[in-house]
Amino acid sequence: MHSKGMRYHLSATPRRAEGRAGLFTMTVFAAVCTTACSSGPSQAVTAGAASPTPSSGSTGANGSSLDASIGASGAAASGGAGPSASSGGTTGAIGASGGPTAGSPSDAASSGSAAAASGGAGGAGGASSGTSGSSGGNGAPIDASSSGAFASGDAAPLPADGGLAGAAPLTGLLGTASRPLLSPGQAAEYTIANYLAQTGTLGSLVADSWNPTAGIDVSAVSPTYTVAATGGTQTTIQAAVAAAEAAAGAARVYIRIAPGTYTEQVCIKASAPPITLYGTSPDPTQTMIQFADYQGGIVQLGANPCGGDTNQQAATLDAFNAGFEAKNLTIANTVTTAMLGAATATQAVAFASTGDRVVLDNVRILSHQDTLYVDSPPNSVSRVYVKNSTIAGDVDFIFGAATAVFDGCTIEFVSDRHPSGGQPLAPDTDDRNAYGFLVIGSTITADASTGSGVVALGRAWDHSCTDVPTYVNTCVASGKYPNGQATIMNTTMDAHVARTAPWVAAATTKRPYSSTPSACVAGLATTACPANRFYEYANSGLGSSSGQ
């Protein structure tokens, strides 16, 4: 995304009163740190490039307990099955026995493509044709329990080879055109289990029944290495990681970290064994990994030794290995506004991952722009699960191509750099992947200085596609292109969220947000740009669609 200069005062800033009790307050650093944090996907892109995703990245999946409704049986809801997968692809999401829900991913247990029921791809609970019904305009949203659906227009382009059935944008949605809501039948497909069910290469995804929802238990762990100022096996986290990498082997390595502040950039290579970093105190504020860097300053400040793209080079902690875990830690990028000066490339990643099966449990990840970067390698699905954690920032501060679940988390907007608003989510999901980001059972909040209705929920990244003509003529035309996916459900939203139009134009291409296929390039078909894939269900709070 395009960088924007920001200031980040990580002092004791109270959050908005409507947030739930006991949520994170910004007592982040011992000293007040006016940090400029980078936004989500804001690195330079090559004009005309058709690559749909960044170089590599991890997906995410986070949650507490699995919903008992996962795998619920039943025939497809009215409106018919989701679009069929192309040859060689897995058919939809795992775990739904019986027929697929209309307009959403179909049962992966079925072979071949799912037959569409009469009425096309309309959503359950919506109009059977997927086109009838009225939105009620862009003002007061229609409650998810209502039977109306906004007009969906023409069907979006189907995913190319190897796509998941249902990866195309849904039709027959409830709510309004600017704030679409899932029907109950559609929402049944967007579960933690379905998000985390499959991994590997798009077109030949493998279901491995990964279930990290219990979190990370280190109560009976005997650490391989201990990091402490005195009395440990190493005095820096990087030294312990290097020892684990040198020892090789496939067994998980546990690195215990004593309370304290560790100022260093940490690199965990892709070849490293599974590693768990954990603080000995259950209070994540007591054990902090911090470093001050940003995308435009890596020449002067130094780049993370893992390398990668310029966002990853500025990261405090890069974890490129599979099976990375972190518990009871704060990971922060502490770059200051004085360090930024007049810089434009101000993205300041705190944590970046690219591997599969990444778990973050009871952690705080803090910066401004581009705080948390969860990515997948091109044509692949990596998964990330984030549980009972806090992510704070201002612009695109949760971004990347990974499949990630944020379960029971606090997503906090910090207003000091952008008092007029920003957005937390910037997924870069491959169009063939039905599952990008799932925010479930969480709280979306802001500090006390944030105004009402000034912060969006998110936008697509559209990485590597430069502008709208390139997105349509090169990226979409290739059949493999970014079209970020995000679902927010059972989550409390405070008053800072823009209620009428919480989804905004894409970061790189500036592709206007549209919940239906749109004529985004003059002279081309009305379906030139596919619909965005941003959905909500059963949220509450002053910033939710109901405002309650």
- Active site amino acids: 370, 396
Residue 491, amino acid: T
Cα separation, 385 vs 447, in Å, equals 25
Neighbours of 246 (CB within 10 A): 7
Is 107 within 8 Å of 100 (Cβ atoms)? yes
Helix/strand/coil (H, E, C) string of 396-458? Answer: EEEEECCEEEEECCEEEECCCCCCCCCEEEEECCECCCCCCEEEECCEEEEECCCCCCCECCE
Give the pair of three-digit tokens for residue 489: 């459900």
| 41 φ/ψ angles, rounded to the nearest 5 degrees | -75, 70
Cα separation, 1 vs 347, in Å, equals 9
DSSP assignment of 502-526 equals -B---TTT-PPP-SS-B--STTS-T
Cα separation, 241 vs 254, in Å, equals 10
Count of alpha carbons within 13 angstroms of residue 125, beta-carbon side:
20
| Contacts of 191 by beta carbon, 8 Å cutoff, 6+ apart | 66, 67, 69, 70, 95
First-to-final CA distance of the chain: 33
Tell me how far CA of residue 61 lies from CA of 21, 181, 538, 547, in angstroms.
25, 22, 20, 28
